[in-house]
Amino acid sequence: MSQMAIPLNSNALSRRQWLLLFAVILALIGCVMVASASMDMAAINYKSPFYFVERQAVFLLAGVIAGLAVYQVPLSWWDRSSVPLLLVAYVLLVLVLLPGVGRTVNGSTRWLVLGPINVQVSEIVKICALMYVAGYLVRRTEEVRERFSGFVKPVIILSIMVAFLMKQPDFGAVVVIMTSVFVMLFLAGVKFGQFSLVVLGSVAAGALMVYSSEYRMRRLLGYIDPWAEQYASGYQLVQSLIAFGRGEWFGVGLGNGIQKLFYLPEAHTDFVFAVLAEEFGLVGNLVVIAIYMALVFTAMSIGRAAEKQGKRFNGYLVYGLSMMLGLQAMVNVGVSSGLLPTKGLTLPLISYGGSSLIIVCVVLALIMRADYENNHNAERKAAKRTMDLEVTG
């Protein structure tokens, strides 16, 4: 007796739809908040109040186009290309540090100028690093799980990347990359003792980087007691906390915030969450945080489904990309609210910024591609089971 096959894994499709929905909501919130946070500054400095929001819309369109292109590429291609992509990352890190090639802004040399576009190298490097580690975990699974050398090798290779990033300097990118990599290694099954040892060593190295730099120490002291340095290293945090305080439960209303009026530096980029806090209050902030949590949870479930289907590269890569998005959002929210020391990381899909927005769209496309391949694999298995039943029936 023949039976009809279920042509689609509804759960897998549902994950992709939810992921896209969460991303669209955050992107729309981003356009609204960038407009609200930047209109006065743009009107004075660029003679157009919509200067930044128009560029944000263009960046978003470019991100959608890039995401659609990436979505068409099978993840197996990225697996085969993971080592060359790591080399590309190192080439970019070298180029950005060459005199006359990299662009310096506020003391940091992080951008390559390609005509009218400024490309932040660390955004590309993040994806390349995670792809390399995902490929390594597939190729060396047993070595990673059984031998300390298998666990340490990718950490050593990426430590060179860390050195280049610290030369820019971009400590935030270092934190995001290494934390995401450690999560991938942990989920791949490394021994807990070895994992703990390397993580503690990395934390100690991070602490040494902070204490060896006068600039980073000033930021740490400004974080510990921002009011003591409210006109120096603690200025950004103090202004951000004032925005949070003014917002109370439901905010002062969209467009009615005061802190964005030249009090809060980088109001439309690194501290856009503070503007949101002032204008929409605690409730608005919690809604946005809930959307990020739902997006990350959905993405992680896609990675878990891929791993259960035996698509280990897809699973490990999605784990890393999900952690990267979640960690970047968490750090930005933590910095804005005074829970973490000041660090220049954008809020994914909401903060103004071309490189960040385009790369986040690419990341989401890779995750949705993994879900598509999960779904396609489920369809094939369902069709095979139906054929077997027809033959035996």
Q: Could you tell me the mean pLDDT of each successive run of 10 residues in the chain, 393 residues long? A: 39 76 95 91 87 92 95 94 93 89 79 79 92 92 82 87 87 88 87 79 75 69 71 79 91 88 82 93 95 96 92 94 94 88 84 90 96 78 62 61
- In the numeric block, the tokens 């027809």 are attached to 390
- At 118 the three-state DSSP class reads strand
Strand pairing partners for 103?
111
Distance CA 324, CA 239 (A): 27
What pTM was estimated for this model as a whole?
0.89
Q: Note the pLDDT of residue 6.
A: 37
Encoded tokens for 232: 């120096």
Give, to the nearest 10 degrees, the angle between helix 272-308 and helix 312-337. 160
Are 320 and 130 contacting, i.e. CB atoms less than 8 angstroms apart? yes
Distances (CA, A) of 354 to 32, 58, 357, 360: 16, 9, 5, 10
Are 143 and 150 contacting, i.e. CB atoms less than 8 angstroms apart? yes
Distance CA 188, CA 266 (A): 38
- At 264 the three-state DSSP class reads coil
